[in-house]
Amino acid sequence: QYLKIKKCGQFWPHFCGENMKRPISITILSYIIIIANIVLVTVALVGTYNLFQRIEFALSGAIISNLLETLSYTTIGIISAIALLKGKDWARFVLLFSAIPKIIYYSFTIFLIEDDYEKLGFVLIILVFSFIMIYFLFNNKATLFFTQKKG
């Protein structure tokens, strides 16, 4: 039998009603996403600056488009994580739809990595974090928190 919640507070009486507190897993996950995206933007900006000093001007368009792509999806990640902290239900689905392509891509990448264990470790970390993120965004406590009546 699956765990079914028939009424608010049946299994978690302290997580009920309009004053339900944000689960700690959502708080930790949101801050991890924010910090990771800030680090990614910083690395991308520093890397782009270093590349511009070493390459020909003809390649600069590709580097700028890569930087803009990185800035766009990190901005979406930061906005979604802040919305999670504020209890916005749409943010869960934005993060879900950003995690699914990563899971599919990196699942196939595992089969292409032959003897590069550093890349394999990186891919496994991304896959594990994506599955953990999906679990904590859609478990019963999180669903109760995001679907409660605000106001």
Provide CB contacts within 8 A for 51, sequence distance 6+.
Answer: 63
Which is more confidently placed, 70 or 75? Answer: 75
Q: What confidence tier does 1 reach under pLDDT thresholds 50, 70, 90?
A: very low
Q: What is the pLDDT of residue 13?
A: 46
Q: What confidence tier does 68 reach under pLDDT thresholds 50, 70, 90?
A: confident
Q: What is the pLDDT of residue 150?
A: 64
pLDDT tens by residue, 87-145: 999 999 999 998 888 888 888 877 777 777 777 888 888 889 999 999 999 998 898 88
Distance from C-alpha of 136 to C-alpha of 61, rounded to nearest angstrom: 39
Q: What confidence tier does 151 reach under pLDDT thresholds 50, 70, 90?
A: low
Q: Cα 114 from chain centroid?
A: 27
- Host H or E run for residue 3: none
28-32, long-range: CB < 8 A, 24+ apart: 29/81, 29/84, 29/133, 29/136, 29/137, 30/81, 30/82, 30/84, 30/85, 31/81
pLDDT tens by residue, 117-130: 777 888 888 889 99
CB 9 within 8 A of CB 17: yes
**What's the mean pLDDT in 36-51?**
82
Q: State the chain's mean pLDDT as an integer.
A: 80
Provide CB contacts within 8 A for 84, sequence distance 6+.
Answer: 26, 29, 30, 33, 91, 92, 95, 137
